[in-house]
Structure 1
Amino acid sequence: MSSEKTHDDHLEIVPAKELDDHTSDALRTERELSTRDAIRAYPMAIFWSLAVSMCVIMEGYDTILIGNFYAYPEFAKKYGQYIDAHGNHQLSAAWQAGLGNCSGIGCFFGVMLNGYLVAKWGQKRVLVWALVVLSGLIFITFFAPNIIVLAIGQLLCGLPWGIFASSAPAYASEVLPMNLRVYLTSYTNMCFIIGQLIAAGVLAGLVHRTDEWAYRIPFAIQWAWPAFLIPLLSFAPESPWHLVRVGRLDEAEHSLRRLQRSSANVDVKATLATIVHTNKLEEEITAGTSYRDCFRGIERRRTIIACVAFAGQVLSGSSFAYNSTYFFQQVGLTTDATYNLNVGGTGLALSGTLVNWFCLMPYVGRRRIYLYGIFSMSMILFLIGILNVWTSKPSVGMTQAVLTLVWTFVFQLSAGQLGWALPAEVSSTRLRQKTICLARNAYYIVSVISGVLQPYFMNPTQWNLKGYTGFIWGGTAFLTFVWLFFNLPETKNRTYEELDWLFAKRTPTRKFKHAVVDLPQGEEGAAFGV
């Protein structure tokens, strides 16, 4: 039986009016479900979301690994291009920029490729095969005899990392109920932090080694994750939204039953009816499911918001304040102090994520958290720049270093997490994977540009701006704040169908939070009057 015939059979079994009744019941149940009840009803959905998001640990690990290797004595001795005035080996600014951006370029193409692969094969198959491919590519970085081979290895490893980064939030948003989706989509960011924390600890522990294993061991640790995740994710359920989009409704129902607790008071058929109904509505109001369609009609607004929300992570100053060991070194801190502060900063990032989960997200809207956060980060960066006037005083360098840690904490309270969650929420379900891919690539494009510029800002043989770099990133953070103030809508406590209605009606940004959504039934509702 073809997938098209299966789809038609289900539509015949569930008439339009009954489908609307099922949808209304499921939407009402989802809205009334408390966070505690949702956790009880969807334990396996939470488990599999956590498992898929763990793939992102490897990208977070590499992000801090390569950026902090520049100040790493044995790495600089192996791959450096010159010796500075203090007799230390250094990578040139050009190679810092090139090596630091290789994985980002690879991620860019991996993300674009993922948009096509997932549409054809689904999240599960693509993730498992990406892990298999990554296992082989790590050999290149581990055995790299020179910096050119290392750069090629980083570029190729970026392909599966890009797949992980764009699949994890999409999968979480499609297997969880409304009031859990922000926690599990933002958990992707926590996995990013966990990877960075592991890398920071490994670097701090190996910094005094005087042989090649000082930098080879950190590369080798990357093999641990595919070895654990490949057998685990082979048993993961496919996203029911993907199965509905390709007409495999029987499999979608089976997937939903695997994600929900059998004893929970949740009607699987009603949930499936909601997915089918929302998918049909979006077929009416969207032109198609290609990348080009993400920029057509009402989808353009949703895509741009998603892109700016993700790119805001870099525009808020992460290239400077987050990966700051090289900055610590340039302001005169010792190697031990540099790497201990790096571990402390990553620990603060992890605590910031938990504070946000328990103290902010349940009570405060996404818009307010993001806006307050990015404004605060811009002020911190401006203060770091101002303090650079008095760098002759020994305490100023440490003060600037502490401020970067404060910035890290604020970043994880706001843009660090919501940059992952918002693209999954503002996108339409039929274009979600591609919208997230475009948003993540907006992040990578800005990240590559900042990665090229940042070494020139900091390198003593180039512009040597040191703390004055805070003025530059403080300016980009403030401009991002201004744009988001006028364009970032509130998505908290909105179902996907309600968000479709709000965007289709071209609801003004400031009215999203309190707008009354009147979802019509039947064919008239399918097009939302547009």
Structure 2
Amino acid sequence: MSTIVEPKNNGINVDDDFDVAEMEKTDSDLLDIRAKDAQEVEHSLTALEAVKAYPMALFWSVTVSMCVIMEGYDTILIGNFFAYPTFAKKYGQYIDSNGNYQLTAAWQSGLNDSGGVGAFFGVLLNGYLVDKFGQKRVIIGALVTMCAMVLVTFFAPNVGVLLAGEVLCGLPWGVFASSAPAYASEVLPLQLRVFMTSYTNMCFIIGQLIAAGVLAGLEGRTDQWSYRIPFALQWLWPAFLIPLMFFAPESPWYLVRKGRFAEAELSLTRLQRKTANINVKDTLATIIHTDNLERELTAGTSYWDCFRGPEAWRTEIACVAFVGQVTSGMGFAYNSTYFFQQVGLTTRQTYLLNTGCTAMALTGTLVSWFAVLPYFGRRQIYLVGMSTLTIILFIIGILNVWTTKEHVAMAQAVLCLIWTFFFQMSIGQLGWALPAEVGSTRLRQKTVCLARNAYYVANVIQGVLQPYLMNPADWNVKGYAGFVWGATAFVTLVWAFFRLPETKGRTFEELDWLFAQKTPTRKFRTTEVNIFDREGRETLQAVAVARK
């Protein structure tokens, strides 16, 4: 276990009585020393030491991320209702040749995409709201809104009202999905950043696992409560999250951006353990130093600034990394209940496999946390993960040649479970973690929002395409869809090889320096970063002047 580095004062008085806000205005050298000391300490911490030093930051990150459980719950709920007999009978549009109710491919596409459409606008709005009101107040407002919107889906008399309800529910979902990883990245140290930003993905899985269990448990009911009870369960989360969030500390990065240094220091005091060998004022100095650096490199904090200068590459990485979850075949292999049904598996087999699929996702996430993320870089994990998913999808497509045999259909279903395991061990985690850590701190919320919206757009396209691929009244390609998504996964793999840099072990300030220097993709891991020496400052000043 490494030892926490003791701060060095380099002959300058840096006692705890100084005023960080005043120092920021009058003594940049002292600010540099404080920031450098804090950065050395942060690099020296092990994951276990970071957990001991930031217990409350972990607690509040977990709390905020739990809001995402509701979106994960409803995402798998509405998609898997298509194969749910009572739901199909209530909202179905026609009876197929086997005498079963089904929604048309058009309505399936609409319902699949409705939540994403609402979330798109919720995410877009969140980028402005958080900048004005902060994470805490926006999340509380979204939770209250969520309670009201669930009423529409619960009492929906027809499929049109249900679709409208899903769109309205998507508005707060967008807030949760973009706020949770951004909040985690801003309150946690370097060693815990990837775990808690990707914990948002774990909350999706928890929501999906709950939904899968609820659906399997209610599958035998033949009345309206078989689908109304799953909708009603969404009220449980706001009931205890709303009171809890009133006590959550605001992000210190947001407070520094607003010039509220005293409040930022108080927030850090609540997030860090007092007995830890970490100086709150040093941490605050690092935040101020990074914010000053980004003020020089970034012209503003608007969405447009995300596409200027070095930020354009950072935004590209965030967006494509998130979109990679869709292009890797998630809509086909992950939400695979309807696919299982179309290849001939029984309703009971379908929902048991769906529950198993979600359990595999949870297992893959845990394996990723304890056996993958601590030892391998982001780039390496993404490349190996996407390669594996591509191969599995092509195998599913090849097996479809013999799909008339029951054991082949079961083999395809098992491959979907294996795909889910590898997805959550790699792309599923990094799709959330990379956008939260790759953007500059002044534009982080908007970078995450753009990345999440890129995901929603891709998911809408996938949501339109996938039902037509599967529906027996339309293209009915069944397992051959593996070739379609295998091709998109391969294209994403090629992009990652040339454009995705290694960000593991880098502080936000170091990433600013690397992107400002236009460091080649494959040299991010080995390049030495010089932020505090004269040459490093001159380089960044030259970049700032060039941008202006």
Which bracket does the TM-score occupy, shorter chain normalised?
A: over 0.9
In the TM superposition, 1:241-252 aligns within 5 A as 241-252=253-264
Q: Does 1:491 align with 2:500?
A: no
* Counterpart-to-counterpart distance in 1, 2:284 and 2:384: 38
Amino acid at match of 1:471: F
* Counterpart-to-counterpart distance in 1, 2:541 and 2:501: 19
Please say which of residues 75-84 and 385-394 is displaced more in the overlay: 385-394
In the TM superposition, 1:369-518 aligns within 5 A as 369-518=381-530
* Counterpart-to-counterpart distance in 1, 2:254 and 2:21: 17
Deviation at 1:527? 2.9
Deviation at 1:8? 6.2
Q: Secondary structure at the match of 1:519?
A: coil
Q: Does 1:363 align with 2:375?
A: yes
* Counterpart-to-counterpart distance in 2, 1:225 and 1:96: 27
Point out 4+ residue stretches in structure 1 off by more than 6 angstroms. Answer: none
Q: Secondary structure at the match of 1:431?
A: helix
1:299-350 deviation per Cα after TM superposition (whole angstroms, max 9, x unaligned): 0000001000000000000000000000000000010100000000100000
TM-score norm. by structure 1 comes to: 0.98
Contact 1:38 / 1:180 at 8 angstroms: preserved in 2?
Answer: yes
* Counterpart-to-counterpart distance in 1, 2:132 and 2:540: 26
In the TM superposition, 1:24-39 aligns within 5 A as 24-39=36-51
Q: Does 1:311 align with 2:323?
A: yes
Amino acid at match of 1:383: I
Contact 1:7 / 1:247 at 8 angstroms: preserved in 2?
Answer: no
| CA 1:517–1:10: 2 relative to 1, 3 Å | closer
* Counterpart-to-counterpart distance in 1, 2:58 and 2:538: 32
Contact 1:310 / 1:439 at 8 angstroms: preserved in 2?
Answer: yes
Deviation at 1:393? 1.5
1:152-198 deviation per Cα after TM superposition (whole angstroms, max 9, x unaligned): 00000000000000000000000000010000000000000000000
Contact 2:55 / 2:272 at 8 angstroms: preserved in 1?
Answer: yes
* Counterpart-to-counterpart distance in 2, 1:183 and 1:15: 36
* Counterpart-to-counterpart distance in 2, 1:41 and 1:86: 61
Q: Which residue of 1 aligns with 2:55?
A: 43
* Counterpart-to-counterpart distance in 2, 1:258 and 1:526: 36
Deviation at 1:10? 5.0
Amino acid at match of 1:57: I
Q: Which residue of 1 aligns with 2:13?
A: none
Q: Which residue of 2 aligns with 1:228?
A: 240
Contact 2:20 / 2:285 at 8 angstroms: preserved in 1?
Answer: no
* Counterpart-to-counterpart distance in 1, 2:59 and 2:411: 41
Structure 1 residue ranges without an equivalent (≥5): 1-5
In the TM superposition, 1:34-113 aligns within 5 A as 34-113=46-125
* Counterpart-to-counterpart distance in 2, 1:158 and 1:74: 24
Match of 1:212 among 217, 224, 240: 224
Match of 2:537 among 519, 524, 527: 524
* Counterpart-to-counterpart distance in 2, 1:329 and 1:528: 60
Deviation at 1:85? 1.1
1:18-44 deviation per Cα after TM superposition (whole angstroms, max 9, x unaligned): 101101100000000111110000000
In the TM superposition, 1:248-327 aligns within 5 A as 248-327=260-339
Amino acid at match of 2:270: R
Deviation at 1:76? 0.1
1:363-416 deviation per Cα after TM superposition (whole angstroms, max 9, x unaligned): 100101011101110110000000000112221100000000000000001110
Contact 1:505 / 1:528 at 8 angstroms: preserved in 2?
Answer: no
* Counterpart-to-counterpart distance in 1, 2:483 and 2:273: 52
Contact 1:504 / 1:528 at 8 angstroms: preserved in 2?
Answer: no
* Counterpart-to-counterpart distance in 2, 1:457 and 1:93: 9
Q: Does 1:171 align with 2:214?
A: no
TM-score norm. by structure 2 comes to: 0.94
* Counterpart-to-counterpart distance in 2, 1:433 and 1:223: 27
* Counterpart-to-counterpart distance in 2, 1:7 and 1:118: 24
Deviation at 1:525? 5.4
Q: Secondary structure at the match of 2:83?
A: coil
CA RMSD of aligned residues (A): 1.2
* Counterpart-to-counterpart distance in 2, 1:498 and 1:10: 22
Deviation at 1:9? 3.8
* Counterpart-to-counterpart distance in 1, 2:512 and 2:149: 41
Q: Secondary structure at the match of 2:320?
A: helix
